[in-house]
Structure 1
Amino acid sequence: MSTPPGQRGERAGRRAVRSAHAPRPAGAYSQGVPAGGFLYTAGFGPQDPATGEPPGTVGQQTAQALRNVRAVLAERGLTLDDAVKVTVHLADLHRDFAAFDAAYGEFFTAPYPVRTTVGSELMDILVEIDVVAYAGA
């Protein structure tokens, strides 16, 4: 017997984490999901949750994307200090890496989480960031 599609995740114990201080999902995904002592966030772009608009520069967009991620982490009492893995997509890796990295460095302290940064085709934004944070056992 098959489980209806909308109930499969709930049967597996999957619960969504939601924050009013981060952009609402633009599709069929959650802002965050806790599993196995970790909180996995969606990939967040730089849209301001109040206006839906991104700021202009890659540095400003990086800061807003990280504020969006931070809002979801806060729903579970976590901070960016709890991040163990960060994945970053840049629309122009070669042009924007230095400015991105400078802005990123304002949000993290050593020892830094591991990070993968790749160039990606993004829709009308310059950066997207997702995080895996340790939430404890």
Structure 2
Amino acid sequence: MESVKTKEAPEPVGPYSQGIIVSGFLFLSGQIGIDPETGKLVEGIENQTEQILKNIEAVLKAAGSSKERIVKTTIFIKDIKNFAKVNEIYGNFFKNCPVFPARATVEVSNLPLNAEIEIECIAKV
């Protein structure tokens, strides 16, 4: 088992790793829309979604993987009414990939730092 850490993604807000590599897979911890340069949560569902995907890409790169190798994502969203906005940004992120990853989307009552969205994923390394 190997921990993945990069300064290109935000520091964890708790006692966990940005990602863990085991048996050829990267298990990437849930990301919220924190800008790694400022350490602050960006505002708005669209900006948070875009920042999350940048953070995910940074951890993937640090692990020697890429978005094309993501096999599963889970999206946690505070208001399912924002699903269409998130889905458009998410779709654009993966549009040049050979396949879309498997995905689950769950509406939740709250997230760390009062974020509007969190995304976790599993990727091949």
Q: TM over 0.5: same fold?
A: yes
Match 1:25 to one of 12, 25, 30: 12
More strand by share: 2
- Write the mapping of 1:1-137 to structure 2, written as runs, cut at 5 A: 14-93=1-80, 95-109=81-95, 110-120=98-108, 121-123=110-112, 124-135=114-125
- Mapped to 2, the partners of 1:122 and 1:18 lie a distance apart of 22
CA contact (8 A) 1:59 1:102 kept: no
CA RMSD of aligned residues (A): 1.1
* Structure 2 unpaired stretches of 5+: none
- What residue identity is the alignment partner of 1:39? L
The structure with the largest alpha-carbon Rg is: 1
Same amino acid, percent of matched pairs: 36
Give the length in aligned residue pairs. 121
Structure 1 runs of 4+ aligned residues shifted over 3 Å read none
* Structure 1 unpaired stretches of 5+: 1-13
User: Structure with the greater relative contact order (CA < 8 A, sep ≥ 6): 1 or 2?
Assistant: 2
Deviations 1:54-80 (A, max 9, x none): 222211111100111111110122111
- The CA deviation at 1:36 is 1.2
